[in-house]
A and B are shown apart, each in its own frame.
Chain A
């Protein structure tokens, strides 16, 4: 039996030591964490235009320097609002995103705002005079949030690629939206409008795509995640339609 004083002192010293160790470790590693995170996010954006990067190039396997070079040379970033009007850098900074570029926007925070107030990042990938518009979307899967980037050709209808990620979908089932390259590959060449020109977005169809123009196959065993992807695509892409119209 120890005295109460001993117990308090022991716990206090232990807490201080642990706090010091962890906080100093965090401070030292923070720049590396932030760099890793930025590169990770940029790779996800490039994954959407993977088909444009060259034959057999995988965005995931690109070295870090090259990711930054592509971002410097081929990508222009814009931020637009719900009506499709450009948002100034100052306004983005004023919202708390230091840096003020589209890449600094935290979609998780934006998703919590009413849709009319949200900022939407746009990444324009330009190569050989052809422009590809990459938009960011976010929605809900089975367990937690899912998100993705969709690359749309400058006819504002044809999808050139897509990449998805998730917070906590089941590995081997819902997580396949990210882990299985075949899933996102299906989006290449799909259209977000049907034959009559009505906006359909892209539908992830359980049991196999019926209309090859705007439907893709679902992942078997991951119904809820796939419904979430469909919903996310519909909501996410329609938020950008005013912007696309202003460009046409």
Chain B
């Protein structure tokens, strides 16, 4: 009797440990800046902010629920085929995201379709399943998934903010700085700093590499824990 009540309390507990599962990936153990995972899609989707935000939400959903389902099944998954089972779980969830997006916002689905499919290959998702969900309880795994998805998403949104601002002079599609692109005749409303010339490098994937490297540098210089003592 006593044992079951203790267990019940523990299932959805949200104490210090659980909070750490959520916040750790945002800072000390960020999937992109610390573990350097999921770089591929971080380079590809971050030219504009809107697709990045949708991508971030989709990844949070997929990491959270694939962690949850894998953790629920962790005792019955045969070791020999565990990777394949994990892959099926991820692929199923990605397809669910894709089908839902297609029904809810078709234009965005059209814009993102390739990248949504590529969540399957995102190293963070599989990495968390192997490293965490296979050895932890469902609730903790779920939180870990949400945390890691957000840790990835936040970097995505920051990178895309700078790339869109410096590369296109806009934020979420609204023109903020510089005049409109030099290649086009009809100059529309001139925003702040009209002398600013859009930097085409920012639109290319290489700029995301630079931006992520700068973020890793900034992150490391203020977070003492990350400084490599060895």
Known: A33-B102, A36-B103, A172-B203. A2 touches B180 (CB 8 A): no
Q: Name the residue of chain A whose CB is nearest to the CB of B45.
A: A171
Residue of B nearest to A226 (CB): B183
Q: Which segment of A14-22, A69-77, A112-120 sits at the interface?
A: A14-22
A176 neighbours in B (Cβ, 8 Å): 181
**CB distance B76 to A10 under 8 Å?**
yes
B interface residues, tally (CB under 8 Å): 40
Q: When each residue 89-110 of chain B gets 1 if its CB lies under 8 Å from chain A and 0 otherwise, what string results?
A: 0001001100110110011001
- Is B80 located at the chain interface by the 8 A CB criterion? yes
Q: Are B51 and A2 in contact (CB under 8 A)?
A: no
Contact of A182 among B84, B85, B96, B186 (CB under 8 A): B186
B203 CB contact (under 8 Å) in A40, A168, A173: A173
- Hey, which chain B residues are within 8 Å of A32, CB to CB? 103
Main secondary structure, interface of A, reads: helix
Interface string of A6-46 (1 = CB under 8 A from B): 11001100110010011001100100110011011000000
**A residues in contact with B88, CB < 8 Å:** 14-15, 18
Query: Separation in Å of the B104 CB from the closest CB of chain A?
Result: 9
Q: Is B79 an interface residue (CB 8 A)?
A: yes
> Is there contact, CB below 8 Å, between B183 and A217?
yes
State A94–B114 Cα separation when bound (angstroms): 32
Q: Is A88 at the interface (CB under 8 A from chain B)?
A: no
Which of these, A18, A33, A185, contacts B186 with CB under 8 Å? A185
Query: Complex: how many Å from CA A225 to CA B39?
Result: 26
Give chain B residues whose Cβ lies under 8 Å from the Cβ of A180.
181, 184
User: Can you list 19 A-B contacts (CB < 8 A)?
Assistant: A21-B96, A25-B99, A29-B100, A29-B103, A33-B99, A33-B103, A36-B106, A39-B106, A60-B107, A165-B110, A171-B45, A171-B47, A172-B48, A172-B203, A182-B184, A182-B185, A208-B183, A218-B183, A219-B181
